[in-house]
A and B are shown apart, each in its own frame.
Chain A
């Protein structure tokens, strides 16, 4: 096959995938609030996502806070404004790195897990079993997980914000020679409550993406265990890309709406 033909096929496959993914997402709307709501299941899913993804989120956000702080201190020292590192780190973490890092970690850890779990349920016919036991699998498996992701990702993001700032603080004290109280004062001066809102809203949106893409991957898995593996890999790749791409548009939107 020629390169052009190969490329063409890929593009068609991508468009088809996105189309089917959208239809899947739309088919959830009519059953979103239909009873039963399976609150217990949602809580358990949130707990699972928390347990599995928290260590990754904690380590990565703390490390990023440290690195960001190192670079900023280096730069700001040249202007004699080293204490503004608190503002630089605080704002970058809360607005950008907290939500994006958290979403990527959850996608890699829990999104892939959801895909694998539902995929194996699909190929072993457990999803059909739910159906014939008169339990709507979309409601029971899909809606509960999407809702759980939409709650868990913002929660984890809040922790990531906290840990990222802590990492920055650590460097500010040791490398920047800033007193802890000054660092925190500057942080609170520049990072206001309202600044948390766009980040957390983005996190909820990323959570929705993770939930939809990963449940779709599992539901459409076919062809035994290899099929489940393929679906899982694709879930992580697709969600990561969607997180980056949607981040651009969401950030732009919030800048227009909230002026920063």
Chain B
């Protein structure tokens, strides 16, 4: 749903989320809403708390206060790992550094969630791995180890692993940092593809403006612990707020 919103029920709702580490107040009341099928890009400077926010959404960090709703479940009220399981099965998370299992081959990395969480036969899993690799634009590299791959290829393998269980929502933490512009563009292409072909809702955290312009339906900006601006891409492009202009155009 390009443009997002317009009478739909939100799929992600973040309300007044706070988080501090000691005296360091990183998030000071973040409000953000995602609608099904849209791609929202969250911009913010280094250290502004983007990764912390994603960590809270996926249950790797505990929010200090506020509320997070994911697909109608209030995850900030979760107390046990069992409750998180359903979320982990339906929300994909792409780590900034790919975080591939370096003791496993490419095939085993992508097959891992399928082997653990589905009853698919080995043949069916192999088949699915091949299709996932093709989808992220990689050929026959099943037997390679992660250390043999370039950074861009690792990211794409990680993306294949992230979408193996067909999540409804994917959270991307800096999907293009450290990649050359051409590889970055193929990642942007993939994010668009996933949105179009699988209807995946995406939250893309980045400070890569080029990526933002390529994938965003809407853009938000995190600044000093709060979301200072949210709007459709075109609106943000021409925004007069100095904080936005400085971020976009230096």
B117 contacts A134, C-beta separation under 8 Å: yes
> How many whole Å from A250's CB to the nearest CB in chain B?
34
Asked whether A124 and B99 contact (CB < 8 A) given A132-B88, A132-B93, A136-B81, the answer is yes
Which B residues touch A117, using CB under 8 A?
Answer: 103
B58 contacts A132, C-beta separation under 8 Å: yes
B102 contacts A124, C-beta separation under 8 Å: yes
> How many whole Å from B177's CB to the nearest CB in chain A?
14
B101 contacts A128, C-beta separation under 8 Å: no
Taking a contact as CB atoms closer than 8 A, the residue among A129, A134, A135, A136 that contacts B95 in the complex is A129
Which B residues touch A179, using CB under 8 A?
Answer: none
Taking a contact as CB atoms closer than 8 A, the residue among B99, B116, B117 that contacts A128 in the complex is B99
A133 contacts B116, C-beta separation under 8 Å: yes
Residue of A whose beta carbon sits closest to that of B91: A132
Does residue A22 face the partner (Cβ distance < 8 Å to B)?
no
Return the CB mask of B70-94 against A: 1 if under 8 Å, else 0. 0000000000010011001101010
Which B residues touch A129, using CB under 8 A?
Answer: 93, 95, 99-101
Provide the bound-state CA to CA distance between A157 and B60, in Å. Answer: 40
Does residue B97 face the partner (Cβ distance < 8 Å to A)?
yes
Does residue A126 face the partner (Cβ distance < 8 Å to B)?
yes
Does residue A131 face the partner (Cβ distance < 8 Å to B)?
yes
Asked whether A133 and B88 contact (CB < 8 A) given A124-B102, A126-B102, A128-B60, the answer is yes
Which B residues touch A134, using CB under 8 A?
Answer: 84-85, 88-89, 113, 116-117
Residue of B whose beta carbon sits closest to that of A128: B60
> How many whole Å from A130's CB to the nearest CB in chain B?
8
> How many whole Å from B86's CB to the nearest CB in chain A?
9
A135 contacts B99, C-beta separation under 8 Å: no
Does residue A125 face the partner (Cβ distance < 8 Å to B)?
yes
Provide the bound-state CA to CA distance between A117 and B103, in Å. Answer: 9
Provide the bound-state CA to CA distance between A125 and B54, in Å. Answer: 14
Does residue B213 face the partner (Cβ distance < 8 Å to A)?
no
Which B residues touch A36, using CB under 8 A?
Answer: 116
- A36, A125, A126: which has the most chain B beta carbons within 10 Å? A126
Residue of B whose beta carbon sits closest to that of A125: B99
Q: Interface range on chain A: under 10, 10 to 19, 20 to 34, or 35 or more?
A: 10 to 19
Which A residues touch B91, using CB under 8 A?
Answer: 132
Provide the bound-state CA to CA distance between A129 and B93, in Å. Answer: 8
- A36, A121, A129: which has the most chain B beta carbons within 10 Å? A129
Residue of B whose beta carbon sits closest to that of A134: B88
B101 contacts A126, C-beta separation under 8 Å: yes
Which B residues touch A136, using CB under 8 A?
Answer: 81
> How many whole Å from A136's CB to the nearest CB in chain B?
7
A124 contacts B97, C-beta separation under 8 Å: yes
Provide the bound-state CA to CA distance between A126 and B163, in Å. Answer: 17
Provide the bound-state CA to CA distance between A196 and B89, in Å. Answer: 48
Provide the bound-state CA to CA distance between A131 and B103, in Å. Answer: 17
Provide the bound-state CA to CA distance between A131 and B59, in Å. Answer: 9
B95 contacts A128, C-beta separation under 8 Å: yes
> How many whole Å from A229's CB to the nearest CB in chain B?
17
Return the CB mask of B115-126 against A: 1 if under 8 Å, else 0. 011000000000
Which A residues touch B97, using CB under 8 A?
Answer: 124-125
List residues of B (39-87) whose CB comes within 8 Å of A's CBs: 58-60, 81, 84-85
A135 contacts B116, C-beta separation under 8 Å: yes
A125 contacts B95, C-beta separation under 8 Å: yes
Which A residues touch B102, using CB under 8 A?
Answer: 120-121, 124, 126
Which A residues touch B116, using CB under 8 A?
Answer: 36, 133-135
Provide the bound-state CA to CA distance between A128 and B58, in Å. Answer: 10
Residue of B whose beta carbon sits closest to that of A130: B101
Return the CB mask of A118-150 against B: 1 if under 8 Å, else 0. 001100111011011111100000000000000
Provide the bound-state CA to CA distance between A135 and B101, in Å. Answer: 13
Residue of A whose beta carbon sits closest to that of B92: A132
Provide the bound-state CA to CA distance between A131 and B93, in Å. Answer: 10
Offer 21 A-B interface pairs, CB within 8 angstroms, sorted by A.
A36-B116, A117-B103, A120-B102, A121-B101, A124-B99, A125-B99, A126-B99, A126-B101, A126-B102, A128-B60, A129-B95, A129-B99, A131-B59, A132-B60, A132-B91, A133-B161, A134-B84, A134-B88, A134-B89, A134-B116, A135-B116
- Residues on B facing A (Cβ under 8 Å): 58-60, 81, 84-85, 88-89, 91, 93, 95, 97, 99-103, 112-113, 116-117, 161
